[in-house]
């Protein structure tokens, strides 16, 4: 990072580059030491920091909720149990009001999605230089600590939801019913004119179907990436003298307070859209 820190563009590029492990141009496998090397590694490269922080946060949430479950009693709940019950009731109310099927896996899955995405989003409130600077002390070149600013993470979650939508669409409606939804609407006509409309309907409904995972993943990524970029741009002000640094501190505080709303809202939207898509998969046309 030493040479890139000298310029604002180098600073921004460094903070937006993942710790990437993959195959180098000469054939050997290892970590990328620059943004150019990371981009050259191609599809099979692994963003180690995204994997590390997402798994770490998921494990931490499992530990917290398991502790809450073990300490739950019939009496007055303590702070941790009260928080866990509030989150569960909140998610359960949203599932009951939106999802009209009887698949028991939906509520636990949606609960996991909500708290996991929220935890990953909250990492955006950690000052942008703290953890990357600590990582450089151990010889780690890059460290992005917000997994949801990586489209690989957000699209991975959205594709998982999409595959579940396809699975339940076929399971509930059958292959014929699922294909019928894709080919017999929005335009309909009597035979033989309906044959002419089949490819048109398939194209329109296919685009609408494929747009679901794309919009679900890119919406979360875009909002968190933009928020992280603003934090990075504000951090640049700390190198512009005492007046710019003071202004930067005030801006950072104001943006962090506002960004709390974005962090929670994006986790909520991801959860609600997951429920809506799964409910649509269970509904007959």
Q: Are strands 46-47 and 20-23 parallel, antiparallel or unpaired?
A: antiparallel
Q: Are strands 46-47 and 29-31 parallel, antiparallel or unpaired?
A: unpaired
Average pLDDT over residues 196-209: 91
Provide the pLDDT confidence category of residue 2 given band limits of 50, 70 and 90: very low
Q: Residue holding tokens 């609408």?
A: 208
Strand partners, 22: 30
| pLDDT(218) > 80 | yes
Domain boundaries, the chain: 4-282
Q: What is the pLDDT of residues 220-230, one digit of tens each?
A: 999 999 999 99
**CA angle at 103 for the pair 102 and 105, rounded to the nearest 5°:** 145
Residue among 284, 278, 265, 280 at smallest CA distance from 107 = 278
The CA distance from 113 to 277, in Å, is 14
pTM reported for the whole predicted model: 0.90
- Record the tokens describing residue 57, joined without a space: 């946060």
Is residue 147 within 8 Å of residue 223, measured between CB atoms?
no
Residue among 3, 2, 1 at smallest CA distance from 15 = 1
The confidence score (pLDDT) of residue 194 equals 75
Is residue 85 within 8 Å of residue 77, measured between CB atoms?
yes
Helical segments of 123-150, H only: 130-137
**Burial grade of 112 (CB within 10 A; 0-12, 13-18, 19 or more):** middle
- Provide CB contacts within 8 A for 202, sequence distance 6+: 182, 183
Q: Per the omega criterion (within 30 degrees of 0), is the bond before 214 cis?
A: no
The confidence score (pLDDT) of residue 126 equals 93
CA atoms within 13 A of residue 262's CA, in its CB half-sphere: 22
Strand partners, 30: 22
Mean pLDDT across the chain, nearest whole number?
Answer: 91
| pLDDT(63) > 60 | yes
Residue among 142, 82, 110, 127 at smallest CA distance from 267 = 110
Provide the pLDDT confidence category of residue 91 given band limits of 50, 70 and 90: very high
* DSSP three-state, residue 99: coil
Residues designated as active site: 215, 219, 223
Highest mean pLDDT among 55-64, 79-88, 242-251: 55-64
Average pLDDT over residues 135-163: 94
């Amino acid at each position: 990072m030493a040479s890139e820190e000298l310029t604002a563009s180098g600073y921004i590029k460094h903070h937006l580059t993942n710790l990437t492990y993959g195959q180098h141009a000469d054939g050997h496998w290892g970590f990328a030491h620059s943004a150019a090397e990371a981009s050259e590694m191609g599809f099979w490269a692994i963003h180690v920091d995204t994997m590390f922080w997402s798994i770490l946060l998921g494990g931490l949430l499992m530990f917290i909720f398991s502790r809450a479950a073990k300490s739950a009693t019939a009496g007055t709940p303590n702070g941790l149990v009260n928080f866990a019950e509030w989150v569960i009731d909140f998610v359960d109310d949203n599932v009951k009001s939106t999802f009209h099927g009887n698949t028991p896996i939906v509520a636990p899955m949606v609960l996991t999605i909500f708290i996991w995405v929220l935890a990953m989003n909250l990492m955006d409130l950690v000052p942008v230089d703290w953890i990357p600077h600590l990582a450089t002390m151990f010889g780690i070149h890059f460290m992005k600590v917000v997994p949801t600013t990586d489209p690989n993470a957000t699209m991975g979650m959205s594709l998982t939801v999409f595959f579940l939508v396809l699975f339940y669409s076929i399971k509930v409606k059958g292959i014929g019913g699922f294909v019928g939804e894709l080919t017999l609407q929005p335009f309909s006509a009597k035979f033989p004119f309906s044959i002419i409309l089949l490819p048109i309907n398939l194209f329109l409904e296919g685009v609408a179907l494929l747009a679901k995972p794309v919009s679900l993943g890119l919406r979360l990524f875009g909002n968190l990436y933009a928020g992280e970029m603003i934090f990075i741009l504000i951090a640049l002000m700390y190198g512009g003298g005492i007046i710019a640094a003071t202004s930067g501190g005030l801006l950072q505080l104001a943006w962090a307070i506002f960004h709390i709303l974005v962090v929670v809202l994006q986790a909520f939207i991801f959860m609600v859209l997951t429920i809506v898509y799964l409910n649509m998969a269970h509904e007959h046309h």
